[in-house]
């Protein structure tokens, strides 16, 4: 799977998670060749740490279950 396709799929998953917090929005998704996925989220009044942790846990679970990274070697950062 191409990186652009992976980014599109991750953007869809993140936007789905953000639907429960309308003031939060996705800024950017980056994927390094080492399967280091970085998600940047912001909000109208900022984003509290507990929300970022929640997004990270839910998204990591979705990515693992979805098998997007076939070798299972992935690191995820949500900030």
Give the domains, in start order, of the chain with CATH numbers: 3-78 (3.30.300)
Residue 58 phi/psi, 5-degree rounding, is -65, -45
What confidence score (pLDDT) does residue 3 get?
87
Instruction: Quick: pLDDT tens for 7-64.
Output: 999 999 999 999 999 999 999 999 998 889 999 999 999 999 999 999 999 999 998 8
pTM for the structure as a whole: 0.88
Instruction: Quick: pLDDT tens for 51-77.
Output: 999 999 999 999 888 877 777 688 999
CB 74, CB 34: distance < 8 Å: no
What confidence score (pLDDT) does residue 72 get?
67
String of DSSP letters for 5-72: HHHHHHHHHHHHHHTT-TTEEEEEEEE-TT-EEEEEEEEBTB--HHHHHHHHHHHHHHHHHHTSSTT-
Residue 11 phi/psi, 5-degree rounding, is -60, -40
What confidence score (pLDDT) does residue 68 get?
78
């Amino acid at each position: 799977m191409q990186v652009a396709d992976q980014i599109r799929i991750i953007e869809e998953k993140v936007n789905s998670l953000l639907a429960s917090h309308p003031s939060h929005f996705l800024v950017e998704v980056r994927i390094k060749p080492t399967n280091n996925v970085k998600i940047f989220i912001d909000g109208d009044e900022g984003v509290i740490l507990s929300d970022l942790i929640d997004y990270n846990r839910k998204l990591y679970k979705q990515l693992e279950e979805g098998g997007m990274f076939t070798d299972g070697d992935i690191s995820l950062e949500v900030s």
